[in-house]
Amino acid sequence: MTRGIKGNPLSKSDRFGESRREFGNKYGESIARLHRALTVIESEIQPYEQNLYTHVTGWALLEVRKQNIQFNMGLPDTFFEDYINNFSILFDKLPKQLIHRDPNPSNILFDGGEVTGFIDFDLSERNVRLWDPCYCATGILSEWRGIDDIYEKWLDVLEGILHGYDNVNPLTFEEKQAVFYIICSIQMICVAYFEGVTEYKELAKTSREMLKSIWKNEMHIRKILA
């Protein structure tokens, strides 16, 4: 009935291997090209629009604050205050459009070392466009178990994704300043959502560990596009 897309998700060993920056670059470039295509059809689809800032501050951040105490995560009050006060200044200036919303590595297909397509658009919505490249990066980080020097390697992947995207769809000054906040937004949503679903408790634990480590690597993340 339909024609399949040739390719398979990139293997975990490739995502964190010696060519991780190169593959990160290809992820970023392909997401940027997808965004260009999505802008063409956005007016025809009239997608649901999500306000990321109010979604996080009105729900996810409050839940993470509770879990920060409950699970002794160690996030300081300044983490939450910085997000509320400084991301609010950037948010209204961030470009927004129809996005994939779920470009995790399993939804991006490769063949012969090149991206051949995207699948699973059921969560697509109008949101900040920076969500997609950052979500791709956090999806890769979620596979961190059993990998040595995970955050050092992941920062290489993140750098590749962001520079790849920027090469095709240049990021604005405000977007470059907002990368850390978007990544934190994604993780806070994951922490809040997974803890609320009984069968996802282990994922909630992993998401909390990721959020703590992202916070600890804040300066490294901010330097990527400085």
Summarised one tens digit per residue, pLDDT across range 38-73 is 999 999 988 999 999 999 999 999 999 999 999 999
Q: Strand locations in 103-146, DSSP E? A: 108-111, 114-118, 125-128
Q: Are strands 108-111 and 96-99 parallel, antiparallel or unpaired?
A: unpaired
Please answer whether residues 121 and 100 qualify as being in contact, where contact means their C-beta atoms are separated by less than 8 angstroms: yes
pTM of the model: 0.95
Domain boundaries, given as residue ranges, for the chain: 8-223
Give residue-wise pLDDT tens across range 142-200: 876 655 578 889 999 999 999 999 999 999 999 999 999 999 999 999 999 999 999 99
Is 3.40.50.2300 the CATH number for 8-223? no
**Count of CB atoms within 10 A of residue 136's CB?**
26
Please, is 85 exposed, middle or buried when counting C-beta atoms within 10 Å of its C-beta (0-12, 13-18, 19+)? exposed
Q: Which residues, including other chains, have CB under 8 Å from residue 92's CB and lie 6 or more apart?
A: none
pLDDT at 2: 61
Please answer whether residues 43 and 138 qualify as being in contact, where contact means their C-beta atoms are separated by less than 8 angstroms: no
Find the radius of gyration of the CA atoms of the chain.
17
Residue 192 phi/psi, 5° resolution?
-65, -45
Residue 123 zone, left/alpha/beta (φ > 0; ψ -120 to 50; rest)? alpha
Give residue-wise pLDDT tens across range 88-137: 999 999 999 999 999 999 999 999 999 999 999 999 999 999 999 999 99
For the chain, the maximum distance between any two Cα atoms, rounded to a whole number of angstroms, is 54
Residue type, position 89, single letter: I
Q: How far is CA 224 from CA 48, 116, 184, 198, in A?
A: 31, 27, 16, 37
